[in-house]
Amino acid sequence: MTKPTILRAAELPASTLAELDALFTVLHLPEDEAQIPAFLQRHGAAVTGLALRKTVVDRAMLDALPALEIIASYSAGLDNVDLEAVHARGILVRNSSNILARDVANTAIGLLLAVTRDMVRADAFVRDGSWAGGATYPLGRSVVGMTVGVVGLGAIGMEVASRLQALGAKVAYTGPRPKPVDLPYHASIVDLAAECDAIVLTCPLTEATHHAVDARVLQALGPQGYLINIARGPVVDEDALVAVLGQNGIAGAGLDVFEHEPQVPKALLEHPHVVLTPHLGSGTEETRQAMADNVVDVLAEHFGLRGPRQVPGKAGH
């Protein structure tokens, strides 16, 4: 039987590449963007599946892949995909949001605790001898009893909400529409921010959410409020955030994503009440492998090559 042809536009673990090679005829998208049009002109008509991460999938690429049936994304975000064009052509899209949700949620909680308890500077306080020298470290803020707003109550947002409740926080949320959950709903981010001590961004990047967190939202959050972003950088108007932080307009921020990453504004790098991480929300060995496994499984199941992956159970279970 002839193997289906897939186009790999993602860096994947070696074990995953071996699995793909065993199941499919795999074409590798050139890293040099200048070579891509000619490559697609030669090979695009044969491609029926796409293993994707950051490559932009626009109408021009779709035109070059007329037989494409399915896109399997290694990531949760699909802001690099023209979803309207994809859906119009009947192409299936599958991402990894359910798989990475728990580790990304853990990252959000880590950032919230780091910024409210000032853990980065507290670490330096111990290392530089200040504690041993008799100095007293300032008190932080408690998440217990805080009202924390979740922006986007999808798979990641639900995981964040459950963790916040376990920590003793009260949770509210906003999104395009109310969901069947027992949590207070606010129709706008401004209204949510005005009622919360912190907001956690977990929403996808779309035209509607681009710069959704602007000066109005930050002003509503206020000088005692915290911003946590593990969504996408451009959900936040970074210039507005820099300006508000410079005026002590919010208490602090924990940021895993940035508007023009990996470039980060100097004002954020130098601000004492901002905790920064390098887009590592899903960055654990276990979750990245599970995400890669999902790419293989989604493609294999679509083409009828095998059923769901059998994960061995632990002894005694």
At residue 72's C-alpha, the angle toward residues 88 and 110, to 5°, is 115
Catalytic residue among 43, 117, 216, 261: 261
Structure tokens at 41: 């002109």
Q: Which of 195, 194, 202 is nearest to 254 (CA)?
A: 202
163 has catalytic annotation: no
238 has catalytic annotation: no
Tell me if residue 173 falls in helix, strand or coil.
strand
Catalytic residue among 53, 210, 279, 302: 279
Which stretches of 107-229 are assigned E, i.e. beta strand? 147-151, 170-174, 185-186, 198-201, 226-229
124 φ, ψ to 5°? -65, -35
Catalytic residue among 102, 163, 232, 288: 232
180 φ, ψ to 5°? -75, 65
Q: How many residues does the chain have?
A: 317
210 has catalytic annotation: no
CA pair distance 187, 111, nearest whole angstrom: 26
User: For the CA atoms of the chain, what is the radius of gyration?
Assistant: 22
CA pair distance 111, 119, nearest whole angstrom: 10
CA pair distance 238, 259, nearest whole angstrom: 7
Residues with catalytic roles: 232, 261, 279
